[in-house]
């Protein structure tokens, strides 16, 4: 059977035979773009050409692009998440369009690499009346003809979200599934951003596997975009022909195709095994790990999880170092360090006590060098960096784990003595683990979670800041908060500004945007875009909404993600302008639910912000607006207190 290395080769050969120039992957670290940390999709380096700039190598380009998504780091360990992946891509830069693309990609999948068409399902864009973008019947019909040629009667079905598969093979979905832009759905696209309808292809792992029945979606009908695991997206054809201009859409001056397909996913389909780590790209590393640990992949759940984390993280670290991101405390290097340290910590679960990261990386280097020759060139550097980082970390890890266990013992003793369980590791304790034992805070959080404990992140940040000021050195914090003072009252006021911001938008309209904020321990001040003086009723309504949110005692939590993902999740707040930049997004309420600003909503606010915030809104007291006045032209100012 075809392996992933051959798949890459075949794909590039196929598109070369269709007149494409094969280019090599751009770096994982975007060039000339200091605000974007990593290349996270195949199209990212192509944006200027999609917008109309002339590509020096013509109008048909194909490649396999290295991608790294730091947000997925904590998800790795299941059978389908990786931080690093390769995206097979082909581009028409104002050249061919829907007909050629759909015909070619179908041929490639079903003829060249031999995927069974009966196991392929596809989706198309349902259209967007609001933005005057039509339903993509053209592409749906193209697919139907192609399946027909294979003797498959492919039914086109609308509203699979409600009705399920309904014996269909071609499905229409809204923009949240079948529209691609770096910022997500049309509404979230900034001025000047290109995007377009897309058509995705899915592999069916089979109804017999009973994924759906055993998943949390079992009460709803299964459809291709259901996350139960039966279907896996293996590629996306984007027909990029629109440009956002103001809040409207215009046609770009050229019709582009952006196809992207994850190598690992297509290989998993070829394998017909939903465990992505079972593909050949991981075989060498897995064997090496089995050899050094004496453990077998797939035998024990916890160990298999550790195998996957290590395989993913060391592959990513190998490629990151190759592209110049040496392990360090800042920027991209911070992620390389985190990857290596996490891998070493998970190696503990496999009983690996000797230096092993260079050995695993060595295998990746051998296997990937044919397509990525710089790995061979930088081999010594990569292995040295890994050895250095692992050695340094191992020296402290053992002591750190002991320290952590001591903490647990202390908690246990306290429970026996007082009858009260301690469920939180204090900021000071977490900071000691960080400062003395080199535990990234995320690692302490993971260890805590494994032991059903939480970590006082606010307290940790406080200790961190105090330490920073003391030592006056800039061990740069990755996600900067906007507050100078982390005192308890200011934290409450900070959360109050999020509630206020959400409530103002609800009452006055979505034109309301934060224009400034200032917090002391006594009050908050919030400036926002709105031209008219607020009426007494509006003020009352805003106060009531905020107080209802406080009374509901929402949980407040955050997640780190790219700006594009933040926008997709409906986050408000100050966006940077570069795709891929990591931000922290705070949610008041259920982080999985959509934001609705009303008294019965599960989720009240979602905003990009550095924090810190209270953990529960219930502790904030009673919110009162004490002043509403003009700040400058078109900007109002509110002063409010918590009583």
Helix (H) or strand (E) holding 334: helix 331-349
- Tell me the helices (H) and strands (E) count for the chain, helix number first: 20, 19
Q: Using CA atoms in the order 356, 361, 367, 368, what is the torsion angle rounded to 10 degrees? A: 170
Of the candidates 491, 517, 498, the residue with the CA atom closest to the CA atom of residue 615:
491
Q: How far is the CB of 78 from ligand SER (least distance, A)?
A: 20
Q: How far is the CB of 41 from ligand SER (least distance, A)?
A: 4
Q: How far is the CB of 238 from ligand SER (least distance, A)?
A: 5
Q: How far is the CB of 463 from ligand SER (least distance, A)?
A: 40
Answer yes or no: is 222 a known binding residue: no
Q: How far is the CB of 181 from ligand SER (least distance, A)?
A: 9
Q: How far is the CB of 43 from ligand SER (least distance, A)?
A: 4
Answer whether 86's CB lies under 8 Å from 28's CB. Answer: no
Q: How far is the CB of 260 from ligand SER (least distance, A)?
A: 2
Cβ nearer to ligand SER, comparing 259 with 437: 259
Answer yes or no: is 609 a known binding residue: yes
Cβ nearer to ligand SER, comparing 203 with 259: 259
Answer yes or no: is 613 a known binding residue: yes
Cβ nearer to ligand SER, comparing 184 with 327: 184
Cβ nearer to ligand SER, comparing 47 with 355: 47
Size (the chain), residues: 643
Cβ nearer to ligand SER, comparing 265 with 337: 265
Of the candidates 626, 496, 497, 609, the residue with the CA atom closest to the CA atom of residue 550:
496
Cβ nearer to ligand SER, comparing 64 with 517: 64
Provide the token pair at 169. Answer: 């093979």
CA dist., res. 590 & res. 603, Å (int)? 5
278 CB contacts (<8 Å, ≥6 apart)? 268, 271
Provide the token pair at 403. Answer: 């320290």
Residue with tokens 């910590």: 345
Q: What is the 3-state secondary structure (H, E, C) of 69-135?
A: CHHHHHHECECCCCCEEEEEEEEEECCCCHHHHHHHHHHHHHHHCCCCHHHEEEEEECCECCCCECC
Report the phi/psi class of residue 125: left, alpha or beta, with left for phi > 0 and alpha for psi in -120 to 50: beta
Q: How far is the CB of 65 from ligand SER (least distance, A)?
A: 9
Cβ nearer to ligand SER, comparing 237 with 274: 237
Residue nearest ligand SER, Cβ-based = 260
Of the candidates 198, 197, 200, 224, the residue with the CA atom closest to the CA atom of residue 212:
224
Q: How far is the CB of 565 from ligand SER (least distance, A)?
A: 12
Q: How far is the CB of 198 from ligand SER (least distance, A)?
A: 7
- Would you give the distance in Å from CA 50 to the centre of its chain? 23
Cβ nearer to ligand SER, comparing 239 with 335: 239
Cβ nearer to ligand SER, comparing 109 with 343: 109
CA dist., res. 455 & res. 442, Å (int)? 10
Provide the token pair at 273. Answer: 């095994």
Cβ nearer to ligand SER, comparing 43 with 556: 43
Q: How far is the CB of 256 from ligand SER (least distance, A)?
A: 11
Answer yes or no: is 494 a known binding residue: yes
Q: How far is the CB of 108 from ligand SER (least distance, A)?
A: 15
Report the side by side order of strands in the sheet with 514-519: 514-519, 524-529, 635-642, 623-632
CA dist., res. 267 & res. 277, Å (int)? 10
Cβ nearer to ligand SER, comparing 184 with 362: 184
Helix then strand then coil, % of the chain, to nearest 5:
45, 20, 35
Strand partners, 251: 242
Helix (H) or strand (E) holding 242: strand 231-245
Judged by DSSP in three states, 589 sits in strand
Answer whether 37's CB lies under 8 Å from 332's CB. Answer: yes
Cβ nearer to ligand SER, comparing 236 with 506: 236
Q: How far is the CB of 578 from ligand SER (least distance, A)?
A: 16
Answer whether 125's CB lies under 8 Å from 172's CB. Answer: yes
Distance set, CA 233 to CA 200, 375, 483 (Å):
7, 29, 42
Answer whether 182's CB lies under 8 Å from 564's CB. Answer: yes
Cβ nearer to ligand SER, comparing 180 with 242: 180
Q: Which residues bind ligand SER (CB under 6 A)?
A: 41-43, 89, 180, 236, 238, 258-260
Residue 115, classified by CB atoms within 10 Å of its CB into exposed (0-12), middle (13-18) or buried (19+), is buried
Of the candidates 407, 631, 416, 446, the residue with the CA atom closest to the CA atom of residue 533:
631
Question: Would you list which residues are annotated within the binding site for Zn(2+)?
Answer: 494, 498, 609, 613
């Amino acid at each position: 059977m075809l392996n992933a290395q051959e798949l890459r080769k075949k794909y590039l050969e196929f598109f070369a035979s269709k007149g494409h120039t094969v280019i090599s992957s751009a770096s994982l670290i975007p060039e000339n773009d200091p605000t974007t940390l990593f290349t996270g999709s195949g199209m990212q380096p192509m944006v200027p050409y999609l917008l109309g700039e002339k590509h020096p190598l013509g109008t048909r380009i194909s490649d396999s692009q290295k991608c790294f998504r730091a947000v997925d780091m904590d998800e790795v360990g299941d059978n389908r998440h990786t931080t690093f992946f390769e995206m097979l891509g082909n581009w028409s830069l104002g050249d061919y369009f829907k007909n050629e693309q759909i015909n070619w990609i179908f041929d490639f999948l079903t003829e060249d690499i031999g995927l069974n068409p009966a196991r392929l399902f596809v989706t198309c864009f349902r259209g967007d009346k609001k933005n005057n973008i039509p339903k993509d019947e053209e592409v749906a019909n193209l697919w139907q003809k192609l399946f027909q040629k294979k003797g498959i009667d492919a039914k086109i079905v609308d509203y699979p979200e409600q009705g399920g598969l309904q014996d269909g093979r071609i499905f229409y979905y809204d923009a949240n599934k079948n529209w691609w832009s770096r910022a997500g759905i049309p509404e979230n696209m900034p001025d000047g951003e290109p995007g377009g309808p897309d058509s995705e292809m899915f592999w069916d792992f089979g109804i017999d596997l009973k994924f759906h029945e055993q998943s949390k979606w079992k009460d709803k009908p299964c459809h291709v975009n259901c996350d139960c695991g039966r279907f896996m997206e293996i590629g996306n054809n984007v027909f990029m022909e629109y440009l956002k201009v103001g809040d409207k859409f215009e046609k770009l001056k050229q019709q582009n195709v952006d196809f992207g397909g994850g190598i690992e996913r297509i290989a998993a389909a070829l394998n017909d095994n939903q465990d992505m780590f079972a593909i050949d790209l991981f075989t060498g590393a897995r064997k090496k790990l089995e050899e050094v640990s004496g453990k077998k992949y797939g035998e024990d759940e916890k160990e298999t999880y550790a195998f996957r984390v290590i395989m993913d993280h060391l592959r990513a670290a190998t490629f990151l170092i190759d592209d110049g991101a040496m392990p360090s405390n800042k920027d991209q290097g911070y992620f390389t360090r985190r990857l290596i340290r996490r891998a070493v910590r998970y190696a503990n679960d496999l009983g690996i006590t000797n230096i092993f990261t260079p050995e695993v990386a060595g295998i990746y280097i051998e296997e990937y060098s044919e397509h990525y020759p710089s790995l061979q060139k930088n081999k010594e550097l990569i292995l040295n960096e890994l050895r250095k980082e692992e050695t340094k970390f191992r020296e402290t890890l053992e002591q750190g784990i002991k320290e952590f266990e001591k903490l647990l013992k202390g908690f246990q003793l306290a429970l026996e003595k007082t009858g009260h369980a301690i469920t939180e590791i204090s900021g000071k304790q977490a900071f000691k683990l960080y400062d003395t034992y080199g535990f990234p805070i995320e690692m302490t959080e993971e260890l805590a979670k494994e032991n059903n404990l939480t970590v006082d992140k606010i307290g940790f940040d406080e200790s961190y800041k105090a330490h920073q000021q003391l030592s006056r050195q800039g061990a740069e914090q990755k996600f900067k908060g906007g507050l100078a003072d982390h005192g308890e009252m200011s934290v409450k006021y900070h959360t109050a500004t999020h509630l206020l911001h959400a409530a103002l938008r609800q009452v006055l309209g979505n034109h309301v945007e934060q224009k400034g904020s200032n917090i002391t321990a006594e009050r908050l001040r919030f400036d926002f875009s709105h031209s008219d003086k607020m009426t007494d009723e509006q003020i009352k309504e805003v106060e009531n909404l905020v107080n209802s949110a406080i009374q509901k005692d929402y949980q407040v939590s955050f997640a780190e993600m790219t700006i594009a993902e933040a926008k997709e999740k409906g986050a408000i707040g100050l966006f940077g302008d570069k795709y891929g930049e990591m931000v922290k997004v705070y949610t008041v309420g259920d982080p999985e639910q959509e934001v609705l600003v009303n008294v019965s909503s599960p989720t009240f606010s979602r905003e990009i912000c550095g924090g810190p915030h209270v953990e529960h809104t219930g502790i904030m007291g009673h919110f009162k607006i004490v002043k509403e006045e003009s700040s400058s032209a078109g900007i109002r100012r509110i002063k409010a207190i918590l009583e």
